[in-house]
Chain A
Amino acid sequence: MSDPVIQIRGLSVAYGNQLAVRDVSVDIPARQITAIIGPSGCGKTTLLRSMSRLIELVEGVRVWGQVLFHGQNIYDPRVDVTEIRKRIGLLAQRPFTLPMSIYENVAYGPHLHGLRKRKALDAIVEKELRAAGLWDEVKDRLHAPASALSVGQQQRLCLARGLAVEPEVLLCDEVTSALDPISGQRIEARLLELKTDYTIVLVTHVLRQARRLADYVIFMYMGELIEHGPANQVFHDPQEAKTRAYLKGEFY
């Protein structure tokens, strides 16, 4: 197993008095796809959003424990949260394009972080739209509103937008569940390509998707981490009774 990029240590997250993630410790391997699986409400999304402190946007949330990113605890008050979120990107379930043109959507992040040179921005926009597999469809209408794209195209635009700030880690939250099958396949193909350069953490409740994509698997149940390991091992030789039951489809 390659060196972990993110190490989670004793992480618990509560909404008000409701504990959503309970004392989770796990390592996320670099340049692989890690799938977090488990039934609805098991804390998958909470765990995912804890990894870039996006969870803090939720009112009344409390976090205990540590998330180490290259050895540094991102919950340390001295850490610049915007820097963390720049290096650990998010692709959300439903694509939300920003209220601007296709071009500006991709350029938004780099521009935000100080890049003003038109040529450099042009280059980034083309590079990331190509990486997201959208360039050929939009190269003639870069300045059209992003909201005019189809949902599948919007999700790829969101991918390009996320890649444009050059993150190391990409957090993917059920990124195909709002898409039609063809668009979903396209996103999956992109993720498989991207894992050579990025560390990808994927939340999914589609087991087949996890089987198709994952190199490493984390199984959560009722806010607790039940089992984690290389995909082959978890899928073919699960150690825990709950994992076996879930993989057999005894509960969702």
Chain B
Amino acid sequence: MGKHLEERFFLALMIASLAIVTGSLVFILTTVVVKGLPALNLAMVTQVPKGGYYLGKEGGILNAITGSLALAGGATLLSLALSLPVVLYLQLFARDSRFVYLVRLSLDVLWGIPSIVYGAFGFTLLLFLGLRASLLGGIMALAFLELPILVRAMEEVMIMVPFELKEASYALGATRLETALRVVVRQTLPGLLTALLLAFGRGIGDAASVLFTAGYTDRLPTSLLRPVASLPLAVFFQLGTPVPEVRERAYASALILTVIILVISLGTRLLARRFTRHVVR
């Protein structure tokens, strides 16, 4: 009897936490959709704001949509270019396990640093380089933000590659680099894509690190050296105004941001499934 009661009690607790988790997701999504959907129209996604993003009642958020895609896309590519060599080095070349441990530890610390710190660091870097808030600056700050996620996520995937698979390649006279690029990367492609998605999602959703480094503008991104708008900042700047039309743009931005992340997440899953064709288990 006592045991039975105990089991029911904990079952109820589990159901309650499940309800809280899924409930909050549903609640957030509903809020975003309910507030955002009415604000959404063709002009919203095809025009830039008119008369200033903070006060102008006309126009849309195309500046923020394109800006965010450019920022997160550029940052993910830059971050990939920086992290793939790190990952391959850690996985295939590094002999000293204490050094590897230190690298992993630093990355984990970096992962935990609040993004406003990346923003402040990026801003300092920009000043040092003699640049001002721009697409390039935003890309650099976001790339730093995404780097630890990308390295650790890609590494997790590569650790799973069986030793014998690498040995099979070495046994044919392949070098470590050839083995890495032709066998390990191919074997882990679905996982690498997922890691990229994770990093892109973190990048496109982050407001603090682009606040100082990318700035904000009504224009579309045309140059690496000019400021760009972004969806998180579109929410942040436009939600706090007394003008209802401007607030609508904030809700629309939130909805679009959510949809972008959803589409990319589902798309990557589909892509990843295609690439598992050759994966050896």
Q: Which residues of A contact B (CB under 8 A)?
A: 52, 54, 57, 59, 82-86, 89-90, 92, 94, 96-101, 108-109, 112-113, 145-147, 158, 161-162, 165
Known: A54-B167, A92-B167, A108-B182. A98 touches B174 (CB 8 A): no
Cross-chain contact of A98 among B97, B169, B173 (Cβ < 8 A): B169
Q: In the assembled complex, how far is the CB of residue B43 from the closest CB belonging to chain A, in whole angstroms?
A: 48
Within residues 178 to 216 of chain B, which ones have a CB less than 8 A from any CB in chain A?
178, 182-183, 186-187
Contacts of A90 in B (CB 8 A): 167-168, 171
Q: Are B278 and A83 in contact (CB under 8 A)?
A: no
Cross-chain contact of A54 among B171, B178, B182, B279 (Cβ < 8 A): B171
Q: Are A162 and B173 in contact (CB under 8 A)?
A: no
Contacts of A82 in B (CB 8 A): 173-175
Q: Are A98 and B281 in contact (CB under 8 A)?
A: no
Known: A94-B164, A99-B186, A145-B277. A57 touches B172 (CB 8 A): no
Contacts of A108 in B (CB 8 A): 169, 172, 182
Contacts of A98 in B (CB 8 A): 165, 168-169, 183, 186, 280
Q: Are B173 and A112 in contact (CB under 8 A)?
A: yes
Q: In the assembled complex, how far is the CB of residue A100 from the closest CB belonging to chain B, in whole angstroms?
A: 5
Closest A residue to B174 using CB positions:
A112
Taken residue by residue from 67 to 98, chain B's Cβ proximity to chain A (1 for < 8 Å, 0 otherwise) reads as: 00000000000000000000000000001010
Known: A59-B95, A108-B182, A112-B178. A99 touches B279 (CB 8 A): yes
For A83, A86, A101, A112, the residue with the greatest tally of chain B CB atoms inside 10 Å of its CB is A112
Within residues 266 to 281 of chain B, which ones have a CB less than 8 A from any CB in chain A?
277-281
Given contacts A90-B171, A112-B174, A147-B280, 4 further A-B contacts (CB under 8 A): A85-B171, A92-B164, A98-B280, A162-B171
Q: Are A99 and B173 in contact (CB under 8 A)?
A: no
Q: In the assembled complex, how far is the CB of residue B192 from the closest CB belonging to chain A, in whole angstroms?
A: 13
Closest B residue to A154 using CB positions:
B280
Q: In the assembled complex, how far is the CB of residue A146 from the closest CB belonging to chain B, in whole angstroms?
A: 8
Compute how far the CA of A238 lies from the CA of B53 in the bound complex, rounded to whole angstroms.
93
Q: List 16 A-B contacts (CB under 8 A).
A: A54-B171, A57-B170, A59-B97, A82-B175, A86-B173, A89-B171, A96-B280, A98-B168, A98-B186, A99-B183, A99-B279, A108-B169, A109-B173, A145-B278, A147-B278, A162-B171
Q: Are A112 and B172 in contact (CB under 8 A)?
A: yes
Cross-chain contact of A89 among B172, B278, B281 (Cβ < 8 A): B172
Q: Are B278 and A99 in contact (CB under 8 A)?
A: yes
Contacts of B169 in A (CB 8 A): 98, 108
Name the 7 nearest CB pairs between A and B, nearest first: A86-B173, A90-B171, A109-B172, A99-B187, A82-B173, A99-B278, A96-B164
Compute how far the CA of A99 lies from the CA of B168 in the bound complex, rounded to whole angstroms.
11
B162 interface residue per 8 A CB criterion: yes
Q: In the assembled complex, how far is the CB of residue A28 from the closest CB belonging to chain B, in whole angstroms?
A: 17
Contacts of A101 in B (CB 8 A): 278
Compute how far the CA of A94 lies from the CA of B165 in the bound complex, rounded to whole angstroms.
10
Compute how far the CA of A133 lies from the CA of B223 in the bound complex, rounded to whole angstroms.
60
Q: In the assembled complex, how far is the CB of residue A200 from the closest CB belonging to chain B, in whole angstroms?
A: 15
Known: A99-B187, A145-B278. A165 touches B162 (CB 8 A): no
Known: A54-B167, A57-B167, A92-B167. A97 touches B280 (CB 8 A): yes
Cross-chain contact of B168 among A83, A113, A145, A158 (Cβ < 8 A): A158
Within residues 146 to 172 of chain B, which ones have a CB less than 8 A from any CB in chain A?
162-172
Q: Are B162 and A96 in contact (CB under 8 A)?
A: yes
Closest B residue to A164 using CB positions:
B172
Q: Are B173 and A113 in contact (CB under 8 A)?
A: yes
Q: Are A85 and B173 in contact (CB under 8 A)?
A: yes
Cross-chain contact of B172 among A85, A97, A100 (Cβ < 8 A): A85
Q: Are B170 and A54 in contact (CB under 8 A)?
A: yes
Contacts of B175 in A (CB 8 A): 82
Q: Are A99 and B280 in contact (CB under 8 A)?
A: yes
Compute how far the CA of A57 lies from the CA of B174 in the bound complex, rounded to whole angstroms.
13
Compute how far the CA of A165 lies from the CA of B163 in the bound complex, rounded to whole angstroms.
21
Q: Are B171 and A52 in contact (CB under 8 A)?
A: yes
Contacts of B183 in A (CB 8 A): 98-99
Q: Are B172 and A162 in contact (CB under 8 A)?
A: yes
Closest A residue to B188 using CB positions:
A99
Closest B residue to A109 using CB positions:
B172
Closest A residue to B186 using CB positions:
A99
Q: In the assembled complex, how far is the CB of residue A88 from the closest CB belonging to chain B, in whole angstroms?
A: 9
Q: In the assembled complex, how far is the CB of residue B255 from the closest CB belonging to chain A, in whole angstroms?
A: 39
Within residues 220 to 278 of chain B, which ones have a CB less than 8 A from any CB in chain A?
277-278
Known: A54-B167, A92-B164, A98-B183. A165 touches B280 (CB 8 A): no
